[in-house]
Structure 1
Amino acid sequence: MRLVPIQAGVFHMGSERDGEDADEQPVHRVSITMPFLMAVTEVTNAQYEAFDPAHKTLRGKMGFSKADDEAVVFVTYDEALAFCRWLTQKEGKPYRLPTEAEWEYTCRAGTTSDFSTGSKLATAYHKSQKTDRDPVVVSLQVGQSPTNAFGLHDMHGNVEEWCADWYGPYRAGEQINPTGRISGLYRVTRGGSHGTPVRYLRSSNRLGMLPSDKSWLVGFRVVQAEAVTSTPLPAEPATAVMQQVAQKPFVWKTVSSTKPIFMEPIRYVNKPVCTAGIPFFSHNHCPAITWCPNGDMLAAWFSTNEESGREMTILGSRLRSGKQVWDEPSEFFKVPDRNMTGTSLLHDGKGTIFHLNGVETDGDWKNLAITFRESHDNGASWSAPRLADPEHTKRNQVIAGLLQTREGWLIQAGDADPGPTGGTAIHVSKDRGQTWINPYTDPQKPEYQNGATGGLIAGIHAGVVQLKDGSLLALGRKDDLPGPDSSGPRMPMSVSHDMGKTWTYQASEFPPVWSGQRLVLFRLNEGPLLLISFTHHPDEANEGKNGLLFTGESGKTMKGYGMYAALSYDEGKTWPVKKLLTDGNYRFLNGGAWTGAFDMDATHAEPKGYLAITQTPDNLIHLVSSSQHYRFNLAWLKQLPVYP
């Protein structure tokens, strides 16, 4: 392993970029007072496997890093530390990971520009520098790009590199040998990688990962030096959604089982004031919702400019007990510079709130791992996130609708493919989230035909419920089946009698759901199954010929359009109650995300939206679309509207 001496010096760390790169602010003067030696390249397979021969089984995983002189990948933060300890003992010299400040200092190599090469990065450094939904295999051979002025290769790209610091916001003012935060959730990675747009290879760009995570994008390099002893910054305080959370248990008063209740829809996605410093982006979508023991409602969703963006973060908000306006949102969960598609929340009814989330390697939503954490104090604090499924792969796009079975097991649905079709997989935990299994084992996508089996629910974004006999029932989007008598396609219904290992399929009586729409399937506290879906897609031609006929008082029917509810009292065999989700009053509302503005009246409800649902112990039903919060009860669902 070749090392070069790095002399002490001073540089300005960070950049003045805004938006998703605001974590590079403020620019601050940093003094590196202790010289050190730094490896000229990242640690290679041959070097790492002298410490851990078993790692050779990971060579070539997903096609990457097969040769001795390619950068080692699929290494966690703790494994990188263990290598440094082994090398220290072997050579009798101190080895460690660089601090984030040391890394940027050596990457810049005396420059102040975006790259050590100037404002642009020459093609000699490029290795498929774009977001690759299907990873493009390239050579990770070290030392092939030109060195910078300090004699270091591969500081821009090849693979990301673990740094010693916990990730956290910078502090203003001059600093000497900074070491980041004293604690945190994520460790810093730097440098960008192959399969990444060039902008993420800049000298100042900050990334981070869960310490237990590993992928084909991340390796590390070492420095030879004693540990930096400067005092770290304090831990980052909790964001607003986790602050001033009441802990007194709420006394729920059951709403009337006979008096219909439909409350005025309210927005839960509220744009924060400009000065709030909250990472609120243009596209807010894909919500989850649950209730808290203190009477609060807790919602979370992703905020991003592009659904395939690395800026995507999970925001959260509260409707605090007794209030009628949701709090301004604040950041709820974010692994730095990773796409975060898919969020799920569930209160188990006994004081524990579960949160599952997808985490990408980069900016797409195909190769997601699943993280899991829990709260025992109404969401004021959370356990450190751990990987429910550590493999960054398909089947892991988390869908709101985490289910607790009668056995106490947790079932989490996840899209099996990033496209518009491809089905839904389920993940099962029999120990309250400590370990998870995926019943799906067939790598081939099954064909959805009546009576077929294959381990996947028909349709993406599926809602799943457990039936009284212990089997599972699911409804999903796309993979539609033909209806009776050539009546057009129908939403597929899937049933499993072996906890998701195999499924049978048949056409339901419901119209398909389309892009920009996500249904919910839920068992109410009172017993019936509740489906909330959409009559049709509003972008279809001839809208007047679409919609559904709804029956009102005295048996009169009227065609309605948009979001509707259906009730089943016989475990999904029949759905005798169908009702448009409107109280008939005119409203001008905005559904956000792909929905936008819409009119609500007696025959029109919200036309699109991703739905999530919960029911509080008082039996009030809480439904959120991509922006709106609806509240109603079973008595209202059963009340037939009066049509003129």
Structure 2
Amino acid sequence: MLNRKSILLLSLFCWYCQLHAQNVAKNTIGIEMANIPSGKFYMGANDTRYGADESPVHKVVIGNPFKMSVTEITNIQYEQFDPAHKKMRGKGGFSIEDNEAVVHVSWHDAVAFCKWLSQKDGKTYRLPTEAEWEYACRANAYSNLNIGDKLPANMQKNQDVPEKILAVSLKVKNGKPNEFGLYDMHGNIEEWCMDWYGPYQAHEQTDPAGYKEGSYRVVRGGSHNTFVANVRSANRSALMPEDRNYLTGFRIVEVTSALPIATQIDNNLPLNQQKVKQEAFNWPKPINKPFFAEPIVYVKNPSCNQTQLYSHNHCPAITWLKNGDLLAIWFSTESEFGTEMSIWASRLRAGNKDWDEASPFYKVPDRNMTGSSLFYDKDSGTLFHINGVSAAGWWKNMMVTMRTSTDNGTTWSKETIIAPEHTMRHQVIAGMFKTNEGWLVQPCDAGPGGADGSAILVSKDSGKTWADPAISIDTPKFVAGNMGGTIAGIHAGVVQLKNGDLMAFGRANDIANGEGIKRMPMSISKDGGKTWAYSASAFSPISGGQRLVLRRLNEGAILLVSFTHHPLRVTKDKAGMEINGKKVYGIYAAVSFDEGKTWPVKKLISDGRERYMDGGAWTGAFVMDETNAEPRGYFAATQTPDNMIHLISSKNHYRFNLEWLKEK
């Protein structure tokens, strides 16, 4: 027999069920739709810890009531529209069961589903606008989450250590619904919205619908395998509308009114795209005597930040342009695992002594952007920009995008996805080059670990299509003594030899020489990068915070820029390198005139003058003098038509020529 307390609880439960039944109804394919009333709310957040794109907070009026699906669209619901999607169930270990949220759907897929369902039901279904989504999510709450400031443990799905991607259940109806009866508005999966992504406007708005055009569509709600901060009500993210990944699905709304009118975005060009000269530069004749210029800083904080330049500026790329400019890019972030990471740029304009201030270059909102590459193809007059884009906050799950410019970087093509899978072997490395056959080769790290080696993407049709030549190899990882599909060492530099082979050097995966001494690994491929053979090189290994350069010079020789040792990982008496009878420390250049067989030229990258310098990023302060050069840093290089070598670290720009390297 029930006691009074049990009767009261049962009555409350029945009351809640009746209320829920009044507010929720199923459509023809079993999607529960909740009634969302019209109203007003304050959209966004002013907490600068989470990024400037959430502010300013502004008043929004939702003028008409609508219905929203109680949960994200599930596999069983989506597959009534697209039965072929069933083969995607379980990809990567995610979304296996009928009642799990569907993932691996693009924005276009979600829109097509809404169109199909609208025709089927005779109603108007679409994706929610970003404003509708946040309004429905908050349900009158202004805390970080609509259920308070903390995400309950039973709703968390690997939110603490998302760099270790774990397969989790995406079953819908986790925890309690919000006041509007909606489940899973915080986490589970990200959800596509209707809008193009763009900055907020400060004035009061009624039924805003984003912008008329853009590059990325808004996604909301955060997901599994991302930090808790990403699942807040105000958090904004975005993706290319073609992107399909394991984090993203959608929910739908049913409306009786027309889609609100979008506004025109104000496209203010960043400094690196302003006032760019288009006249071809008349390059001077090469200097036939040694030349070394005073190092200068190329990463310069902007005097007026329109977007945050963070403290960790790293992973650069550089190229020359037909107008005589140099263009350098790098990532700027607080954490290398962070979704705040963005790509910045600066120009050294022809005839100028100093680099421009830094300005934004490329950013997919709320995504980790690890790895960039620039290459100017003088044959076609095309400037290529290649970049990694994560699904979440770590470089383990990158896809690869490409943009091109034919006007010295003044304007860029719409980016395309050249490697769509968010997976390993896609962390882009500076050092793209063109082979004798006219193929484009883009090095990438093969994995997120320090010993995962490197890979390449190859395009045989001027960048239209790209492929990993070793993707079908059964054992792609580096194994000493074996042939494999992976270059030994991460952050590899790659060149083509005159006989058509590829040669690469990398960091880690060190190989002992005949005397049992660990050396930097050298990898050779005779089949276009499908397989690689490994051997010990003549050079010392490098380690954390160090990235080498390997490239062919205009004069025909091969240039290697590397480090004598790692200053924090070996004892002083075993560090350094002897050059011309003198022990030296830091970054040096080596030159081979016989396709990598011997390296008769070795020189410390220093003119011998004593300077106090800052290397930025992991390097920090150091003294450059006769026996010491920059001890760490991620380096990249280009060589202009006047044969000047331009070498950049995480902060500094060095200029010298081959004659200087050969000088004793």
**What's the TM-score, normalizing by structure 2?**
0.93
Aligned twin of 2:222: 192
Could you list the per-position Cα deviations for residues 413-460 of structure 1 after superposition, in whole angstroms to 9, with x for gaps in the alignment? 11112111121111111112111111122353545434x211111111
Matching residue within 280, 297, 312 for 1:249: 280
CA distance in 2 between partners of 1:429 and 1:550 (Å): 40
Q: CA deviation at 1:545?
A: 3.3
For 1:263-278, list aligned pairs within 5 A.
263-273=293-303, 275-278=304-307
CA distance in 1 between partners of 2:442 and 2:184 (Å): 40
Specify the code of the residue in structure 2 equivalent to 1:110: N
Aligned twin of 1:595: 619
CA contact (8 A) 2:123 2:254 kept: yes
CA distance in 1 between partners of 2:133 and 2:271 (Å): 32
State whether structure 2 residue 599 is matched by structure 1 residue 575: yes
Q: CA deviation at 1:179?
A: 1.1
CA distance in 2 between partners of 1:72 and 1:121 (Å): 22
Aligned twin of 2:41: 11
CA distance in 2 between partners of 1:19 and 1:298 (Å): 30
Aligned twin of 1:403: 433
CA contact (8 A) 2:453 2:478 kept: no
CA distance in 2 between partners of 1:434 and 1:26 (Å): 40
CA contact (8 A) 2:32 2:70 kept: yes
Unpaired segments ≥5 residues, structure 1: 552-556
State whether structure 2 residue 345 is matched by structure 1 residue 316: yes
CA contact (8 A) 2:615 2:649 kept: yes
After TM superposition, the structure 1 stretch with the greater mean CA deviation from structure 2, 232-241 or 311-320, is 232-241
CA distance in 2 between partners of 1:541 and 1:58 (Å): 48
State whether structure 2 residue 400 is matched by structure 1 residue 370: yes
Matching residue within 417, 435, 451 for 1:421: 451
State whether structure 2 residue 482 is matched by structure 1 residue 458: no
Matching residue within 303, 320, 326 for 2:332: 303
For 1:525-540, list aligned pairs within 5 A.
525-540=554-569
After TM superposition, the structure 1 stretch with the greater mean CA deviation from structure 2, 47-56 or 138-147, is 138-147
State the Cα RMSD in Å: 1.3
Aligned twin of 2:636: 612
For 1:376-391, list aligned pairs within 5 A.
376-391=406-421
CA contact (8 A) 1:334 1:340 kept: yes
CA contact (8 A) 2:163 2:337 kept: no
Could you list the per-position Cα deviations for residues 268-314 of structure 1 after superposition, in whole angstroms to 9, with x for gaps in the alignment? 111223x4232211111110001111111111111111111111111
SS, match of residue 80 in structure 2: helix
Aligned twin of 1:546: 575
CA contact (8 A) 1:108 1:116 kept: yes
State whether structure 2 residue 649 is matched by structure 1 residue 625: yes
Q: CA deviation at 1:259?
A: 1.2
Specify the code of the residue in structure 2 equivalent to 1:253: P
Unpaired segments ≥5 residues, structure 2: 1-30
Specify the code of the residue in structure 2 equivalent to 1:58: M
CA distance in 1 between partners of 2:57 and 2:154 (Å): 29
Matching residue within 98, 107, 112 for 1:68: 98
Q: CA deviation at 1:391?
A: 0.6
Of structures 1 and 2, the larger Rg is shown by 2
Specify the code of the residue in structure 2 equivalent to 1:139: S
Q: CA deviation at 1:89?
A: 1.1
CA contact (8 A) 2:118 2:125 kept: yes
CA distance in 1 between partners of 2:93 and 2:480 (Å): 34
Q: CA deviation at 1:400?
A: 0.4
Specify the code of the residue in structure 1 equivalent to 2:655: R
Specify the code of the residue in structure 2 equivalent to 1:626: S
For 1:170-189, list aligned pairs within 5 A.
170-189=200-219
Aligned twin of 1:554: none
SS, match of residue 566 in structure 1: strand
Q: CA deviation at 1:120?
A: 2.3
Q: CA deviation at 1:538?
A: 0.8
Could you list the per-position Cα deviations for residues 116-170 of structure 1 after superposition, in whole angstroms to 9, with x for gaps in the alignment? 1122233343222234334212221112321111111111111100001111111
CA contact (8 A) 1:375 1:382 kept: yes
CA distance in 1 between partners of 2:444 and 2:511 (Å): 21
State whether structure 2 residue 511 is matched by structure 1 residue 481: yes
**What's the TM-score, normalizing by structure 1?**
0.96
Q: CA deviation at 1:237?
A: 2.6
SS, match of residue 345 in structure 2: strand
CA distance in 2 between partners of 1:544 and 1:602 (Å): 18
Aligned twin of 2:590: 566
Specify the code of the residue in structure 2 equivalent to 1:203: S
Q: 1:443 to 1:269 in 2, by over 3 A?
A: farther
Aligned twin of 2:356: 327
Specify the code of the residue in structure 1 equivalent to 2:591: L
CA distance in 1 between partners of 2:644 and 2:289 (Å): 12
State whether structure 2 residue 271 is matched by structure 1 residue 240: yes
Aligned residues: 631
SS, match of residue 596 in structure 2: coil
CA distance in 2 between partners of 1:295 and 1:598 (Å): 31
SS, match of residue 393 in structure 2: coil
